[in-house]
A and B are shown apart, each in its own frame.
Chain A
Amino acid sequence: MPTNTIYPARRIITMNPAFPFAEAVAVREGRVVGVGTVEELERFGDHVVDDRFADKVILPGFIEAHSHVMTGGLWQFPYVGYFDRADPDGKVWSGSRTIDEVVEHLVEIESEMDDPTEPMIAWGLDPIYMPDERLVARHLDQVSQERPIFVFHASGHLATVNSAMMRRCEINEQTPTPGVMKNDAGRPNGELQEPAAMALATIALGKLMAAIGSDQAKWGYANDARNTGQTLVADLGTTPIQLDEQIAAWEAVVDDPSYPARVLLAGSPMFGGEQDPATLAAVAISRRDANEHDKLRFGIIKLVLDGSIQGFTARIGWPFYFDPPAGSPENGLWLLPPDAVADIVTTHHAAGLTVHCHCNGDQAAQVFIDAVETALERHPRWNHRHTVQHSQLTTTAQYRKMAALGMCANIFSNHIFHWGDQHRDITVGPERAARMNACATALREGVSISIHSDSPITPMGHLHTAWCAVNRRTASGEVLGPDERISVMEALTAITIGAAYQLNLDHEMGSIESGKLADFAILDDDPLVVDPLQLKDIGVWGTMVGGVAHQAAPRS
């Protein structure tokens, strides 16, 4: 019989309420034999004691139930976002706070590139933090007059290019495409708004798409997860699961024992996914049932109903946006016709799948909740766990109805820090900002929750996400909606068993218990002991995935 490995720790926080803390955990064949004292665990039979985590705190591996493999693709390019951010190799990129800093950053990187014709791509620019001046071609021309440059904004809806890129892609005075922004003299200023305009920068987009689909992106995604304690990441709808070659590529990558995460691929009609709901449901079921890869998971359908709040494209309820830019439409965009949602949800629901639906605005959430109700009337089914994703403006009444219907929420707590000040001042105003991402309300009304990063939109890292939900501090340091703060224990539940539950994985992961998978987050300090304001600063040694230890890349 194989030998048990017993790992003593400073403390094991099991997230199993029936046995919440332990001194040690025993592992065999990728699973947890048991938790308890070393002496208790020795009685399971042949064993070795491995002391390497003796001063660490071990939790169930964190589960990121809403992120995108695109994270690993973008990190193949320089980052010029506002906040400091660590890449999958552990290198911390300092934030670019001003346009001058963006330019300085790019000059430095440009000087290290060889082939002068090779286009340069950078990402993460967030103009909402640079209200005085917009980045335009003139600034990027200071970086290079010859090399085409493409700076992808954090919103994903805009890009800024330099004159060399415009020359190469023939973007000029005659270009009639709406979204190609022009100066008073009628010349394009380098800003390309929305996909039709961005599509003109063909050489940049081709390079970006190739990077996102690469194996390197898959590795970067998992390395990023490992560095901050996640052991399962759900790629929510950015891999077209009907394509055998895409699944084969994933299988080959996760098969490598050193690949440091489990990945769940949610099926979606977006991003090249199958459009027909019945066909998509059949594909998702067959992927789930035929799957033989312990590190690759299926069974979730991702739908998208609306846009983003900071982009004023989320569908929010009356009286709509607080202080939107002049000329904005009254409300946001639907990505699916509301009247079609009940039929689509019913198809997936009847097939036995769990639907995760992107609803940033409360109006979008209402359409999805009502669609689930219709699906349940047509096809009664217990334990479906359909989940409102983002759930940023979901109201108390909506949470009550979600509880009654057996629905879950995955709440975008990172928004509180990253855009909370803007939500209070510009998008939805102080009152609604105070109840955005309402974790406390959801729990009070009996809805099972998780919280998420939506990486690459905000950085992956569940200690940071938990910190956001617990403290609700904005970037300016204000506490936004103190009554929606939750306890550290509630936040830890959300990032472990709460996430596992809504992905239908709670019988295998999300807590450290005899028989479950040996997936751990291994921390330098105890989240239940440190000041809650220090939660995000706890060091992460790394993870264990199915009993295989993966050490985080050292920060540099």
Chain B
Amino acid sequence: MTDHAWAGDPMIHTPIRVTVIGGYLGAGKTTLVNHVLRSADERIAVIVNDFGDVNIDAELIESTDGGTISLTNGCICCSVVDGFTVALDTIRASSPRPERLVIEASGVAIPAQVAAYAFGPGLELDGVVTVVDAETIRRNARSEYVGDVIAQQNTATDLVVLNKVDLVDHGAMASLMAWLTEVTDAPLIPARDGRVDLSVLLGLDAADRTSATTMPTATSFASWTERWLEPIDRTSFEQQIAALPDAVVRAKGVVRFTDDPLTESIVQVVGRRVSITAGGRWTRERSELVVISLDPDGDAKTPG
């Protein structure tokens, strides 16, 4: 294997950033994946359990080859029928190589176990997203059969998409949010019909996207940029990241540390997950970190 690039080796390939989407049966994972495929305007690969559930518009399909569907917008969709290893090999070998991969876990998978694949060669975990059905989550969480599974899905995740919020009234919603805050540390992103801004879900650069593909979402976000002109002390930077408000769902940027000033340090924050990896040689004027936060007022600017 010549493309054996562990995270952060820019000499060969930028690793493919992997988002794992989990959540119990009926939560809306597939709807979310469909939303990703329709809204994407960069080449995204997805691995799904079953093509049958992914309702891809016929005019979007460019070609179908066994376990792989190619879409006209450049996205590719692989089924997991022959196992993750085969699907991942297909995606790594596809040309041009996608920069993003979304894996739809099965409804009873512990997403963290699926995420283990995202540590394979040429891949890098962006984050785990659990989709929750606002209507049924509390009933399912009490189930003798799946209560423990749902608890694990809610705990071992970086973001929670609280889907179908339009089906729950205000009083129930407040109580649900209070309960979810107890069971998970991850930021909660309310959504309808699985529509979540891709800059939040996958960390896509909002500026790269046309407004035409941005569908209305149930939540608004605030976004700002932190800048540092001088190299930063790594420890103090890590402390600043840790001190970001709970409403921060994502941050990404390129930073120059005093202990490694010749290198770009790539920072990715997804919910509570922080990764800092070495990038290429430092050529920028300053360190920058774009932060996206749930907007408590609901009327502030939305990325994209």
Q: Please report A residues at the B interface, Cβ cutoff 8 Å.
A: 169-170, 174-179, 194-197, 199-200, 202, 205, 272-276, 279, 315, 318, 329-331, 333-340, 363, 367
Q: Once the chains are docked, how many angstroms separate the CA of A177 from the CA of B122?
A: 12
Question: Of B4, B7, B52, B107, which contacts A276 at CB under 8 A?
Answer: B52
How far is A200 from B82 in the complex, measured between Cα atoms in Å? 16
Bound-complex Cα distance A202 to B176 (A): 45
A/B interface sample: 30 pairs, CB < 8 A: A169-B1, A170-B121, A176-B7, A177-B117, A178-B112, A179-B116, A194-B113, A195-B83, A196-B84, A196-B113, A199-B84, A199-B85, A200-B120, A272-B83, A273-B81, A274-B81, A275-B81, A276-B52, A329-B152, A331-B148, A333-B108, A334-B108, A334-B149, A335-B108, A337-B106, A338-B108, A338-B143, A339-B26, A339-B146, A367-B145
The answer to whether B50 has its CB under 8 Å from any CB of chain A is yes
Residues of B near A331 (CB, < 8 A) are 148
In angstroms, how far is the closest chain B Cβ from the Cβ of A170? 5
Contact A276 B50, CB 8 Å, known A199-B84, A339-B26: yes
Pick the residue among A178, A195, A200 that contacts B84 (CB under 8 A). A195
Name the interface size band of chain B.
Answer: 35 or more
B53-95 CB contacts (< 8 Å) to partner A: 79, 81-85
Central interface residue in A200, A279, A336, A337, by most chain B CB within 10 Å: A337
In the assembled complex, the Cα of A52 lies from the Cα of B6 at a distance in Å of 66
A196 to B109 Cα, complex, angstroms: 14
How many A-B pairs have beta carbons closer than 8 Å: the answer is 86
CA A273 to CA B50, docked complex, whole Å: 11
B24 interfacial contact with A, CB 8 Å: yes
Query: Within the complex, what minimum Cβ distance (angstroms) separates A275 from chain B?
Result: 4
Residues facing A in B117-176 (CB within 8 A) are 117, 119-121, 143-146, 148-149, 152
Set B26, B110, B120: member contacting A196, Cβ < 8 A? B120
Instruction: Give the most central of A170, A334, A340, A367: most B CB within 10 Å.
Output: A334
B31 at the interface (CB under 8 A from A): no
The answer to whether B25 has its CB under 8 Å from any CB of chain A is yes
Shortest Cβ gap from A71 to chain B (Å): 20
Further 13 A-B residue pairs, CB within 8 A, beyond A178-B116, A331-B148: A177-B116, A178-B119, A195-B83, A196-B116, A196-B119, A200-B120, A273-B81, A275-B79, A275-B81, A315-B145, A329-B148, A337-B146, A338-B143
Pairwise interchain contact A337-B116, C-beta atoms closer than 8 A: no
Q: B143 to nearest A CB, angstroms? A: 8
Q: Is the CB of B81 within 8 A of A272?
A: yes
Q: Are A363 and B85 in contact (CB under 8 A)?
A: no
Asked if B49 is an interface residue, CB under 8 A from chain A, the answer is yes
Closest-CB distance, A361 to chain B (whole angstroms): 11
Inter-subunit contact B52/A275 (CB<8 Å): yes
Q: Which residues of A contact B106 (CB under 8 A)?
A: 336-337
Q: How far is the CA of A194 from the CA of B107 in the complex (A)?
A: 19
B residues less than 8 Å from A330 (CB atoms): 148
**Alpha-carbon gap, A282 to B182, bound state (A):** 46
A331 to B121, CA, bound (A): 31
Q: Are A176 and B119 in contact (CB under 8 A)?
A: yes
Main secondary structure of the interface of B (DSSP, over half): loop
| Complex interface residues of chain B between 98 and 113 (CB less than 8 A to chain A) | 106-108, 110, 112-113
Assess whether A174 is in contact with B6, with CB atoms less than 8 Å apart. yes
Interface positions of B (Cβ within 8 A of A): 1, 4, 6-7, 24-26, 49-52, 79, 81-85, 106-108, 110, 112-113, 115-117, 119-121, 143-146, 148-149, 152
Give the complex CA separation of A174 and B7 in angstroms: 9
| B-chain residues with CB within 8 Å of residue A337 when the two chains form the complex | 24-25, 106-108, 146
> Which are the 5 A-B pairs with shortest beta-carbon distances?
A196-B116, A334-B108, A337-B25, A177-B119, A337-B107
Assess whether B152 is in contact with A199, with CB atoms less than 8 Å apart.
no
- A196: chain B residues within 8 A (beta carbon): 84, 113, 116-117, 119-120
Q: A-side binding surface: helix, strand, loop or mixed?
A: loop
B49 and A275 within 8 A (CB): yes
**How far does the Cβ of A397 sit from chain B's closest Cβ, in whole Å?**
15
Name the CB-closest residue of B to A278. Answer: B52
Whole-angstrom CA separation of A32 from B173 in the bound complex: 71
Residues in A with CB closer than 8 Å to B24 are 337
| B1 neighbours in A (Cβ, 8 Å) | 169-170, 202
Q: Kindly list chain B residues whose C-beta atoms are within 8 Å of the C-beta of A363.
A: 144-145
Q: How far is the CA of A335 from the CA of B144 in the complex (A)?
A: 16
The answer, among B6, B26, B115, B144, for a CB contact under 8 Å with A175, is B6
In the complex, A334→B105 CA distance in Å?
13
- Quick one: which of B4, B117, B143 contacts A199, CB cutoff 8 A? B117
CB contact under 8 A between A338 and B85, given known A177-B120, A178-B119, A196-B120 = no
B207 to chain A, nearest CB (A): 30
A334-B146, A334-B149, A338-B146 known; A197-B83 Cβ under 8 A: no
Min CB gap A180→B, angstroms: 8
Rounded to whole angstroms, the CA-CA distance of A338 and B143 in the bound complex is 10
CB distance from B38 to the nearest CB of A (A): 22
In this complex, what residue of B is CB-closest to A334?
B108
Q: By the criterion CB–CB under 8 Å, are A194 and B148 in contact?
A: no
Distance in Å: Cβ of A192 to nearest Cβ of chain B: 11
Q: Quick one: which of A196, A200, A273 has the most chain B CB within 10 A?
A: A196
Q: A176–B51 Cα gap in the complex (Å)?
A: 30
Shortest A318–chain B CB gap in Å is 8
Given A275-B50, A337-B24, does the pair A197, B108 have CB atoms closer than 8 Å?
no
Least CB distance, A244 to chain B, in whole angstroms? 13
Q: Which residue of A lies closest to B113 (CB)?
A: A194
Taking a contact as CB atoms under 8 Å apart, the answer to whether A194 and B26 are in contact is no
Question: Can you name the residue of chain B whose Cβ is closest to the Cβ of A276?
Answer: B52
Query: Could you tell me the distance between the alpha carbons of A200 and B123 in the complex, rounded to whole angstroms?
Result: 13
What residues on A are CB-neighbors of B7 within 8 Å?
A: 176
Known: A174-B6, A195-B84. A333 touches B25 (CB 8 A): no
For B152, the chain A residues whose CB sits under 8 A away are 329
Q: Which residues of B contact A315 (CB under 8 A)?
A: 145
Kindly list chain A residues whose C-beta atoms are within 8 Å of the C-beta of B117.
177, 196, 199
How close is A420's CB to chain B, nearest CB, in angstroms? 27
**A contact residues around B116 at 8 Å (CB):** 177-179, 194, 196-197
- Assuming the contacts A170-B121, A200-B120, A315-B145, asked whether A339 and B25 have C-beta atoms less than 8 A apart, the reply is yes
